Structure 1
């Protein structure tokens, strides 16, 4: 091999090694971030009617439930908070509406029966997450000066929002809306909105959904008292408190949450919850407030895997996103490194070969 050819091979070898390094340590970290402008919708339903205590009738009733979650990114807040914390974060506003009407819409502000038309359950949150790991990041500025801080509420009234430091809300913790890029087969901490704290969620198995490899995680939320903003009172007759017009009771809740995670992106492909909540009096369960198994419907799972248009915007499609990210994060660095090292080894071999030949001739 001539000097010019050898120089070219060395240059190509260095080039491919450089591609491997750039793909692994620059391109992949740049792409492995949650999009700040993400908008997502999920729909969960009960296959069998749930048991729900209806306040209006004061009776346990069998109802089909539909739970709709909307997640919307706040790009301006994300940029502002990222700069203030000197780390890359995303900010998401989420709302979960659960009702027996699958097409439920909030009534207008001036509707005289607005309170009567409230959904069976409503939770709205603002969360700040690390853009790479999905873990909650504390951000609690003075609301009077900056309204971008995290909160949780069960009403549409902004004055009812609970911010970190409130007796019933210390702030988000653990994973909230997604798992880390490159999810591992281990135990994580995952947020529970009802109890407003994180609990361990354990890896169970690797399986498939619609041909997509996913990790199955299960979280057992033990029976716990639900934080209440104001004391909960019911007629004494409802909880066998004879002779008392009204008594103070406590709401208890437990849940078995199962999540199927696409490990490359950390996206939640499917979720299922087996909830059991009761109204307790003097430490004893008296009324079943909620008993339901609710899970993502088939359309939501399919959208998450294959992608679909929602309100004119592409959502889901994590099968393709995972393939692209895996290509950049694994195959491009690996193959480029192999090619680069082979080229450098070939150049070294042909550089030493003439010397060896001359020694043999001498």
Structure 2
């Protein structure tokens, strides 16, 4: 029977902590690489998918003038200082990945009667906000139209100038001019104007009393509707959202074979106050989101990622094996540890040889 000692036995391994077995700095390098990837992914991928107009939407614009005047075509008498409201309703649905189909109706009314009504279908490119000639587009049933220019919203982050806005009533897209920076409900915006000189509305010919143009005339005359409009848009530039609209509108009837004209509608329409504040708040929140994705995320995540990668590589460099065998513990050279191990083993062997036989 031999006697042995446990003095030289290795201690039992303890529980492994998080990251045990990985080279020093690995987690920092991995975290830094993730942050650097995110700093590129957010502006170049996520932003480009969040910024376009939504494919599906339902909303309306209500513009009012409390002191408008119009020609009552039921009695052919003029009504003044009356509230006139123009409501534009939009039902948008997805139409391929980049397009959205907008079904629009425009209803102009006084408290007791409808003054005008027309409808429109337009395909909108979600990134540019411009009309696309496709897929059953029409204005008031006229499928021969070819709509162009902006439909309602500006492109996100668009340049100040170089835009046109489609007027569906006269089937043309006059340019809009940038007039300067402004502020609406605490939101920084750009102000644009569009001037449409008196233009005949297509397919608007109708029979009206000839006395409208010549008080002594009898019978009827064929007249067409003419439209003059000055529009002002306030646009939040980061999102392209229109937060306010004003429209100085003058409509007249002119005889086809004769001279003179009679006023049909005079109104200075403006977006209702409640809608202005609501659209301004939507634009503010969406602008913060797009700025975070496009500007702030790269500026913050990029340097943090680079710093984490550098720190991880520095840790790996500090913990690399030294010349002569690397490290065997905190502050203890490998050679010293090896000599201690051999010395301990020799002492055990000597004790066993000196032990008396049983």
Fold match by TM threshold 0.5:
yes
How many angstroms apart in 1 are the aligned matches of 2:237 and 2:37?
27
How many angstroms apart in 1 are the aligned matches of 2:243 and 2:217?
51
2:236 aligned residue (259, 262, 272): 262
* Alignment match, 1:150: 137
Displacement, 1:346? Answer: 6.8
Task: List alignment gaps of at least 5 residues for structure 2.
Answer: 1-21, 319-358
What's the CA shift string for 1:247-281, capped at 9, x where partnerless? 22232211110111122221111111001122123
* Alignment match, 1:72: 91
**What value does the CA root-mean-square deviation take over the aligned residues?**
2.7
* Alignment match, 2:355: none
Displacement, 1:285? Answer: 4.1
* Alignment match, 1:300: 275
| Shift in CA distance, 328/285, structure 1 to aligned 2, threshold 3 Å | farther
TM-score (norm 1): 0.74
1:91 aligned residue (98, 101, 125): 101
TM-score (norm 2): 0.74
How many angstroms apart in 2 are the aligned matches of 1:42 and 1:297?
8
- The question of 1:56 aligning with 2:74 is answered yes
Displacement, 1:339? Answer: 2.9
* Alignment match, 1:335: 300
* Alignment match, 1:324: 289
- The question of 1:235 aligning with 2:209 is answered yes
Displacement, 1:293? Answer: 0.5
Displacement, 1:244? Answer: 5.7
Q: Is the 8 A contact 1:278 1:285 kept in 2?
A: no
How many angstroms apart in 1 are the aligned matches of 2:55 and 2:92?
5
* Alignment match, 2:329: none
* Alignment match, 1:120: 115
- The question of 1:175 aligning with 2:160 is answered no
Q: Give the SS at the match of 1:35.
A: coil
How many angstroms apart in 2 are the aligned matches of 1:351 and 1:185?
51
Task: List alignment gaps of at least 5 residues for structure 1.
Answer: 105-116, 141-148, 154-160, 307-316, 354-362
How many angstroms apart in 2 are the aligned matches of 1:21 and 1:319?
24
How many angstroms apart in 1 are the aligned matches of 2:249 and 2:311?
63
- Matched positions, count: 296
Displacement, 1:233? Answer: 2.5
How many angstroms apart in 2 are the aligned matches of 1:207 and 1:131?
26
1:197-236 matched pairs, under 5 angstroms: 197-228=172-203, 231-236=205-210
Q: Give the SS at the match of 1:18.
A: helix
| Shift in CA distance, 5/350, structure 1 to aligned 2, threshold 3 Å | closer
* Alignment match, 2:251: 277
1:32-51 matched pairs, under 5 angstroms: 32-47=51-66, 49-51=67-69
* Alignment match, 1:29: 48
Name the stretch that deviates more: 204-213 or 280-289. 280-289
1:12-23 matched pairs, under 5 angstroms: 12-23=31-42
What's the CA shift string for 1:274-317, capped at 9, x where partnerless? 011221235744201121100101111122123xxxxxxxxxx2
How many angstroms apart in 2 are the aligned matches of 1:8 and 1:222?
67
Q: Is the 8 A contact 2:23 2:316 kept in 1?
A: no
